[in-house]
């Protein structure tokens, strides 16, 4: 079914926030839901329809994530992100983007997504002297998490290549959760939303996350063919103002994809009694094949 909205009762503090941030007192609120790939999600995000238009009101109880997202929206005004109108009492008000996500994208949507990601990377060119504190914490976390790979020597050796590279890989502004549902395609442009996990991290992270959980077997969460993945990577590279070495660019992405696979495998490998189901089998096969390629 995918993402849908349902009219909802007014939430505590919603009216006050809308009045303070936009002078809105008359409105209808619709909550976002998602039923996809066997999962049901309810989002603390609301489509607010008022006499003069439509906005998005988002609530978060995590002050650090809210601060991160608001900071990034301010940094990126004029880029491929929704306009940010302000925040109040745990709510954040942004522009409503009328479009569809990229769960099952067309080639035009993929091309637009690549252009948008390159736009962010051009605004925050990889290799500049950004604060590496978030990236260093991320590396320390990844190094600690390798314990679950101790019984998987192939995966451990390949993952070690990622850890070695992360110490010096160029950073850029990264969304942190750039899955296809966080890419809204208007028919002309893709807007990147939900930046609460964002920060300055390795440039390959968003590219890899967008592709890693997509495929064409019907088992993956999202739909993306091998040709579309190539189109996505090629479009990003073609639109970068400062192009890195192409071989290193593609290798960095593949290393980051390996991490995405390893995250899924972690819960299985940490718990020997957890059944090895179809999801485990798919990701284990993908991770093993990629590890062998990286180690050649």
Q: Is the dihedral of CA 246, 250, 255, 257 positive or negative?
A: positive
pLDDT score recorded for residue 37: 62
DSSP class of 263: H
| pLDDT per residue as tens digits for the range 149-176 | 999 999 999 999 999 999 899 999 999 9
Nearest residue to 204 (alpha-carbon basis) of 250, 167, 262:
250
Which residue ranges form the domains of the chain, and what is each CATH number?
2-95 (3.30.200), 107-295 (3.90.1200.10)
Nearest residue to 170 (alpha-carbon basis) of 138, 125, 207, 236:
125
Q: Is the pLDDT of residue 104 over 70?
A: yes
Is pTM beyond 0.85? Reply is: yes
Most distant CA atoms of the chain, gap in Å: 63
Q: How confident is the model at residue 58 (pLDDT cuts 50, 70, 90)?
A: very high
Average pLDDT of 234-247? Answer: 97
Q: Could you count the other beta carbons within 10 Å of the beta carbon of residue 264?
A: 17
Mean of pLDDT over the chain = 94
Runs of H (alpha helix) within 167-225: 204-212
pLDDT score recorded for residue 291: 98
In sequence order, which residues have a C-beta less than 8 Å from that of residue 99 and are 6 or more positions away?
Answer: 184, 185, 186, 187, 191
């Amino acid at each position: 079914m995918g993402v849908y909205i349902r009219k909802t009762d007014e939430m505590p503090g919603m009216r006050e926030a809308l009045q303070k941030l936009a002078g809105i007192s008359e409105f209808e609120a619709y909550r976002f839901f998602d039923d996809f790939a066997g999962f049901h999600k309810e989002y603390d995000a609301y489509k607010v329809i008022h006499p003069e238009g439509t906005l998005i009101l988002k609530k978060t109880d995590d002050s650090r994530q809210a601060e991160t997202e608001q900071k990034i929206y301010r940094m990126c005004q004029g880029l491929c992100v929704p306009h940010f109108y302000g925040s109040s009492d745990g709510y954040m008000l942004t522009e409503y983007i009328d479009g569809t996500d990229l769960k099952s994208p067309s080639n035009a949507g993929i091309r637009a997504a690549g252009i948008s990601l390159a736009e962010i990377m051009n605004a925050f060119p990889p290799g500049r002297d950004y604060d590496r504190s978030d990236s260093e914490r991320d590396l320390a976390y990844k190094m600690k998490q390798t314990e679950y790979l101790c019984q998987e020597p192939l995966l451990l050796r390949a993952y070690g290549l990622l850890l070695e590279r992360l110490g010096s890989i160029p950073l850029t502004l990264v969304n942190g959760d750039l899955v296809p549902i966080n890419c809204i395609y208007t028919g002309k442009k893709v807007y990147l939303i939900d930046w609460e996990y964002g920060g300055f991290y390795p440039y390959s992270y968003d590219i890899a996350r967008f592709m890693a959980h997509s495929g064409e077997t019907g088992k993956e969460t999202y739909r993306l063919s091998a040709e579309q993945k190539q189109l996505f990577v090629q479009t990003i590279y073609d639109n970068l103002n400062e192009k890195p070495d192409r071989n290193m660019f593609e290798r960095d992405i593949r290393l980051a994809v390996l991490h995405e696979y390893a995250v899924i495998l972690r819960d299985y490998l940490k718990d020997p009694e957890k059944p090895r189901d179809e999801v485990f089998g798919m990701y284990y096969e993908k991770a093993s094949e990629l590890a062998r390629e990286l180690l050649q």
